[in-house]
């Protein structure tokens, strides 16, 4: 069997996405409506909650890894204040054209998570994102997928399409009760 895992993209899923740049400073990080409550409620269905985020702004020299870590510290602290601990955060800082490429849709961050938590079973996992690369990341590993809709154009079909993480919670809850 294995452990159920919720994989979450960050920008556009947990926080307001900057379509013109990057979340380069903790002050730029703003939780989306219902994100905290949604993560807390979704956590009840999953053994692990893991963030997987592409942050090539580091590779481009537009922000530092330290600043990304400070953004994640702000996010984690706010979730923890609300009673929700994240199990891990994986960051791909390389440019898209670099090899090895850890960026989604490549599987590197999920495989690293599975090394850290060998009980992860991808067939028992759900990947939540807002882009084609997020959905492909989940599909490539045999996960269920959920797309948080935004102004991003997504052509990949996901198992669920929702407006936010709280709606995803109720969707998953209803699916489990069927």
Which pTM value belongs to this model? 0.96
Per-residue pLDDT of the chain (178 residues; tens, 9 = 90+): 679 999 999 999 999 999 999 999 999 999 999 999 999 999 999 999 999 999 999 999 999 999 999 999 999 999 999 999 999 999 999 988 888 889 999 999 999 999 999 999 999 999 999 999 999 999 999 999 999 998 889 999 999 999 999 999 999 999 888 7
CA 140/CA 62 separation, integer angstroms: 30
Ordered by where they begin, the domains of the chain are 7-162 (3.40.50.1000)
Count, in order, helices (H) and strands (E) of the chain.
6, 6
Per annotation, catalytic residue among 11, 87, 130, 164: 11
66 is catalytic: no
Q: What is the pLDDT of residue 103?
A: 96
134 is catalytic: no
């Amino acid at each position: 069997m294995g452990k159920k895992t919720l994989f979450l993209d960050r920008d556009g899923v947990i926080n307001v996405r900057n379509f013109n740049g990057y979340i380069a400073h903790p002050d730029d990080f703003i939780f989306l409506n219902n994100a905290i409550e949604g993560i807390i409620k979704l956590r009840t269905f999953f053994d692990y909650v893991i963030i997987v985020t592409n942050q090539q702004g580091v590779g481009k020299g537009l922000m530092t890894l330290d600043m990304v870590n400070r953004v994640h510290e702000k996010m984690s602290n706010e979730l923890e204040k609300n009673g929700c601990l994240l199990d891990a955060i994986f960051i791909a800082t390389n440019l898209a054209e670099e090899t090895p490429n850890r960026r989604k849709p490549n599987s590197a961050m999920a495989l690293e998570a599975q090394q850290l938590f060998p009980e992860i079973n991808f067939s028992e996992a759900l990947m939540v994102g807002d882009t084609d690369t997020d959905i492909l990341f989940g599909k490539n590993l045999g996960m269920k997928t959920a797309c948080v809709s935004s102004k991003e154009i997504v052509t990949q079909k996901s198992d669920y399409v929702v407006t936010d993480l709280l709606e995803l919670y109720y969707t998953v809850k209803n699916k489990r009760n069927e």
